[in-house]
Amino acid sequence: MPRKKEYDKALVTEKAMEQFWSKGYSDTSARMLEKSMGINPFSIYSSFGNKRGVLLESLKYYQSQVREQLLLPLSKAPKSIDSLQDFFVNFLNFTKGKDCYKGCLLINTAHETATTPDARVNAIIENFSTEIKTAFYEILKSDQSKTNELVERQTSYLFVALQGILSAAKINNEQQIDNYINMTFLNI
């Protein structure tokens, strides 16, 4: 008996995600969300609760995109260091905007909300971290000559390196980042 929604929730969530990804959470206003999502305040608040709710759905959407476009290909690729390095390059391209690198939305959000922790945001980020580290671990441990301890240290190292690259790409030129990736994998 109810009236039907005139918008597709997945689609407006994607639009919101793009806003948060480009501008960050604090610097994205409710008015900007209305405009980029193309719907009225009422629709936003009845569908998402509040601004934080829009962020949460955006993060989930982002995570699903990372899984689909980056983690799935990695899981299908040969278990080699080259595949890992490709993953880094692919992730970097994934974060490429019109005229800048936007970083990883989840990492950006983690940094922005570090001083105002939110349990639901943290849960998503924690989940995401584990997924990526597990993928790294599976590949690194395929080299039987490595001890478990070494594999764990390399996993942790690469995970921090990935965060560093995605962040640094926002404010450094491509040559520096390219050089950094190559140097990073000399260690592995």
Partner DNA sequence: ATCATTTCTAAACGTATGTTTAGATAATAT
Partner DNA sequence: ATATTATCTAAACATACGTTTAGAAATGAT
Contact residues: a copy of itself, CB under 8 A: 22-24, 26-27, 100, 103, 107, 110-112, 114-116, 125, 153-154, 156-157, 159-161, 163-165, 167-168, 170-172, 175-177, 179-180, 183-184, 186-187
Kindly state the smallest distance separating residue 157's Cβ from DNA, in Å.
37
* Overall size of the chain counted in residues: 188
**Residue 43 binds DNA, judged by CB under 7 A:** yes
Write out the chain in H/E/C secondary structure: CCCCCCCCHHHHHHHHHHHHHHHCCCCCCHHHHHHHHCCCHHHHHHHHCCHHHHHHHHHHHHHHHHHHHHHHHHHHCCCCHHHHHHHHHHHHHHCECCCCECCCHHHHHHHHCCCCCCHHHHHHHHHHHHHHHHHHHHHHCCCCCCCHHHHHHHHHHHHHHHHHHHHHCCCCCHHHHHHHHHHHHHCC
The CB-of-41 to DNA minimum distance in angstroms stands at 3
Among a copy of itself, DNA, none, the one that 51 touches (CB under a kind-dependent 5 to 8 A) is DNA
The answer to whether residue 176 forms part of the interface with DNA (CB under 7 A) is: no
Q: Which is nearer to a copy of itself, 39 or 88 (CB)?
A: 88
Q: Quick one: which of 39, 105, 158, 162 contacts DNA (CB under 7 A)?
A: 39
Among 11, 41, 89, 174, binds DNA (CB under 7 A): 41
Contacts to DNA by CB under 7 A: 1-7, 28-32, 39-46, 50-52
